[in-house]
Amino acid sequence: MMKLSVASSNIEILQVLHEVADATYAVLSTNTDWGLSGQRPTQYSIDLRTDAAALEVLHGAGCAVLSEESGRTGDWHDDAIIVVMDPLDGSTNASRRVPWYATALAAIDASGQRASLVANQFTNTDRWTATTGGGAFHNGVPIGPSSCTQLSQAVVGVSGLPKKHPGWAQFRALGAAALDICLVAQGTLDGWVDLSSHGVWDYLASVHICREAGAVVGEVQNRDLMVTEHAERRSPLVAACPQLLAALRQVL
C-alpha cells in the first residue's frame, strides 16, 4: 500500500482517497443491518463498519484521521497527511435506501487542503474530486458553478429550516450535506446554506471542491472552516458568486 507524506503529490493522495471510497462502498453494498448502533443517538451500525473499513486503508497509508465516528486516530505529527472523514454522510438516507449518501474525504497538511473526494455511495459510480490548484471534477469532467446572481432566481440547497420564506425561487433539502454542497460546485444548485451547524467532516471536502470549481464559500459568522477538533461546529455557506453569497448570509 502506498505510504503518504507531505512530499506525496496531490494526485497520489487522491488515489488513496479513491481506495478509501472503494473500501467503504464494499461494506455498504453488502450491508443488511440498517439499525442504530446503540452507542450514541442517530449513529447507525453501518456508520461504525464503514468507519473501520476506511481507517484500515488510511492508517495503512500512514495518514492521521479525524472521523465523525472515531475522532482522532493515527499519528498526528507535523509532517502528517490528515484526512478529515465522514465515512457515511446521510446515514438516514442510506438506511431508507434514498439514493443520496456519501463518503466524504478531505486530505490536509500543515499548509492547508491538498485533495478531496466525495463519493455518492448508492452505486459507487458518482464521484466529485478536487486537488489544490488542479481544479474540480465530477466523474473526471471539469465542473463550475451556475451563472445565477439573484436570490429570487436561485434554487438553493438547505440543511435545517428557515424561520420565514427568504425569497429564493425554490429550495432543496436532500439530506447529505457533503453531496448537496457538491451540487453547487457543478451548477446544479445555485447555493447552499447551513441553517444549523455541522462538523468539519460534513463539509470540508465539498467546500474544497467548490473553491476549486470557482464557487464562493463562506461561514455564517465569518469563522475559519478549517478545524481539526471533533467538537468544533461551523455553519458554511456556498454560492455561485459573491452577490448570491451575500444574499444567502441575510437568510439567517
Residue at grid coordinates 459510480:
125
pLDDT number for residue 5? 93
Q: Residue 45, Cα to own-chain centre: how many angstroms? A: 21
Position 74, amino acid: G
pLDDT score at 30? 95
Q: Give the pLDDT of residue 163.
A: 85
Task: Report the pLDDT averaged over residues 143-149.
Answer: 98
Q: Is the pLDDT of residue 1 over 90?
A: no
Query: Binning pLDDT at 50, 70 and 90, where does residue 9 land?
Result: very high
Q: Is the CATH number of domain 10-140 1.10.10.10?
A: no
Residue 232 has pLDDT above 90, yes or no: yes
Q: Which pLDDT band, with edges at 50, 70 and 90, does 41 fall under? A: confident
**pLDDT given for residue 233 in this prediction:** 97
The average pLDDT across 36-52 equals 93
Could you tell me if 79 and 60 are in contact, meaning their C-beta atoms sit under 8 angstroms apart?
no
What's the pLDDT tens digit per position in 83-92? 999 999 999 9
CATH class of 151-251: alpha beta
Are the CB atoms for 210 and 217 separated by under 8 Å? Answer: yes
Q: Is the dihedral of CA 158, 161, 162, 164 positive or negative?
A: positive
Q: Collapsing DSSP states into helix, strand and coil, what is residue 135?
A: strand
The domain spans of the chain are 10-140, 151-251
- Mean pLDDT of all residues in 100-123: 97
Provide the pLDDT for residue 161: 87
Residue 223 clears pLDDT 80, i.e. is over it: yes
pLDDT tens track for 160-174: 988 889 999 999 999
Summarised one tens digit per residue, pLDDT across range 89-104 is: 999 999 999 999 999 9
Say what the pLDDT of residue 3 is.
Answer: 92
DSSP 221-239: T---S----TT--B-EEEE
The pLDDT, as a whole number, for residue 2 is 84
123-149: average pLDDT = 97
- Across the chain, mean pLDDT equals 96
Q: Sheet of 155-159: strands edge to edge?
A: 170-172, 155-159, 191-194, 236-239, 216-219
